[in-house]
Amino acid sequence: MAETSEINSNQALPHDGFAEKAILGAMLIDNNYANFVFSEINSDDFYRDSHKRIAAAIDKLINSDSSADLVTVGGLLEKNKELKFVGGYEYLSSLPDGVPSSINIEEYVHVVKDRSSLRKLMQASMGVIKSGTEPKAETQDILTRLQEDIIKIADIEIHGGFSPASEVVAQTVDQIERIQKHGDSGGLKTGFYELDNMTGGFQKGDLIVIAARPSMGKTALALNVAGNMAVKSGASVGFFSIEMSKQQIMMRLLSTRAQIDMSALVTGRKHLNQQEWRALELAAGELGNSKFYIDDSPTLSIIEMKTRARRLAREKELDIIFVDYLQLVKVTGDALKRNDSRAQEVAIISSSLKAIAKELQVPMVAMAQLNRSPEQRGGKKEGVKYQLSDLKESGAIEQDADLIMFLHREEQNDKETERKGEADIIIAKQRNGPTGKIVLAFQDRYTKFANMDFSDKDYS
């Protein structure tokens, strides 16, 4: 076999011939076994070529609403000129005889699937060795390809399929009853009351985009929301910070939660008094005991992000993911074509973020840059008007996102404005809710957003 010779022509790859024969024999005896078998594995997961072809014949017959027995399977193989190759009717007839009287089909399928995964892993490893010997080998490209192969082999993806209406109706009615009884949509609360009222909180499986021009405070807003969720709600928060280090992120969180001037923490020009030290220690204790996880890798590819998010969800649980920011994520490996434009790359990133949110069933919050169009359309007198088309480099973000919020602070454009200390959150798109605007207070020295009616208190 080709796959054997690539590693060692004299050594068979991992497999379990008895389990393969037992599965094939069981399906020939009772076609009902096939439904489970082919929902977990396919014909290519069998090791022997003859077993692959017999499995494929059984699968084809059952999918065409025909019975799969010794006669029909043998006939199809003969029609395809494969009967002699698999050992003829004599070998087909021997398969049912080898089925144990009390076969545990699930266990046998697990064994075949496991051996198949191990063979693929060995093949991927050999591919790495081969690629590494090439003169122009790029380490990062090889690592990315290996990560992609491992994810496919591990079969981490959620297994989908059709759900009966009776099941979906029951679940949906339960959700409606909960909302009607408790006024709770089940979304993660941001800590900003008007925003939560308008959105119902951040929903599982949703891609949420916080978009703004530079220096408007989108990272600060994301950190305020993430901190509220981690400390006040006890949520498990994953925060990918591509632009800032984990120490910078934590410095901002401490400044916000302790309400200590950020410049004092960063420069040390102002010494903290006893009260400020107590506030800092309290904030440090809250954050230290929270489930807030930071990844500050400066060059993060979308495949690396998928891998790390899945690992965090598996090892620590995960309630929400933040990405700061979308346009800094890299696209590498097979997903990247040589002639792809940056807009096409961003489209790949946004669709991948949505896919992660849906797979892990958590909200995915991504910060995004806006282009210069808002500034060109508006001015100090007219105010800046935002449109979904202002999302930088890709209209695909508009399509993939379930919720898009623009952040605007008038004082960044007009130093004489009467709206100093105010921030507009403009909900430009909400797939399952209204659009509109809310106003938050912004305390610049703490990089802190707050509800307007509690802007002088630590309620946000």
- Give me the percent of the chain exceeding a pLDDT of 90: 20
- In order, the DSSP letters of 183-217 are ---SPBP-S-HHHHHHH-SBPTT-EEEEEE-TTS-
pLDDT band at 392 (very low <50, low <70, confident <90, very high): low
pLDDT at 97: 84
Lowest mean pLDDT among 22-31, 124-133, 336-345, 363-372: 336-345
Q: What is the pTM of this model?
A: 0.65
Is 192 a member of any domain?
yes
| Side chain identity, residue 103 | I
pLDDT of residue 148: 66
**Nearest CA to 144 among 305, 339, 13?**
305
Residues 6 or more apart in contact with residue 341 via CB below 8 angstroms: none
- Pick from 102, 121, 137: which residue ends a domain? 137
Which CATH number do you get for residue 38?
1.10.860.10
Among residues 113, 137, 161, the one where a domain terminates is 137
Does residue 53 carry a pLDDT above 90? yes
111 and 204 share a domain? Answer: no
Looking at the structure, do residues 133 and 214 belong to the same domain, yes or no?
no
Q: Are residues 131 and 193 in the same domain?
A: no
Average pLDDT over residues 65-93: 90
User: Domain for residue 145, yes or no?
Assistant: no
Residue 147 within any structural domain of the chain: no
Mean pLDDT value across the chain? 81
Is residue 334, in this structure, part of any structural domain at all? yes
pLDDT in tens, 180-196: 766 666 788 998 999 99
Q: What percent of the chain has pLDDT over 70?
A: 85
3-class secondary structure, 301: strand
Q: How far is CA 332 from CA 237, 297, 458, in A?
A: 26, 15, 43
pLDDT score at 384:
61
Same domain? For 113 and 211 the reply is no
251 plus 392 within the same structural domain = yes
In this prediction, residues 197-221 reach a mean pLDDT of 89
Same-domain status, 89 and 197: no
Answer whether residue 425 shows pLDDT above 60: yes
Residues 6 or more apart in contact with residue 4 via CB below 8 angstroms = 11, 12, 13
pLDDT for 106: 86
**For range 101-123, the mean pLDDT:** 85
- 224, part of any domain: yes
Question: What DSSP letter does each residue of 102-137 carry, written as one string?
Answer: T--HHHHHHHHHHHHHHHHHHHHHHHHHHHHTSTT-
Partners of 323 in the beta sheet? 240, 366
> Are residues 206 and 321 both part of a single domain?
yes
Question: Does residue 75 or residue 393 have the better pLDDT?
Answer: 75
Which backbone phi and psi does 207 adopt, to 5 degrees? -95, 120
Question: Is 268 a member of any domain?
Answer: yes
Are 119 and 236 in a shared domain? no
Please give the residue range of the domain that contains residue 101: 2-137
Is 290 within the bounds of a domain? yes
The pLDDT of residue 51: 94
Q: What tokens appear for 205 in the block?
A: 């499986």
What mean pLDDT comes out for the span 102-109?
83
* Tens-digit pLDDT profile for residues 212-227: 888 888 899 999 999 9
Mean pLDDT, rounded, for 92-110: 84
Instruction: Give dist(CA 94, CA 114) in Å, integer.
Output: 25
Q: Kindly state the tokens that stand for 42.
A: 């396919």
Same domain, 111 and 219: no
Token digits for 74? 């043998």
The more confidently predicted of residues 408 and 1 is: 408
Residue 342 and residue 435 in one domain: yes
What token pair was written down for 353?
């973020």
SS3 content of the chain, % helix, strand, coil (to 5): 55, 15, 35
Dist. CA 229–CA 196, nearest whole Å: 12
Domain boundary among 122, 137, 152: 137
Q: For residues 247-274, give the mean pLDDT.
A: 83
Same domain, yes or no: 27 and 112:
yes
Find the radius of gyration of the CA atoms of the chain: 28
Question: If pLDDT is split at 50, 70 and 90, which confidence band does 72 have?
Answer: very high
Same domain, 191 and 127: no
DSSP secondary structure string for all residues of 343-389: HHHHHHHHHHHHHHHHHHTS-EEEEEEB-SHHHHH-BTTTB----GG
- Give the pLDDT band of residue 456 (cuts 50, 70, 90): very low
Residue 120 domain-assigned? yes
State the CATH number of the domain containing residue 205.
3.40.50.300
Comparing C-alpha atoms, which of 413, 435, 431, 434 is closest to residue 423? 413
Number of separate domains in the chain? 2
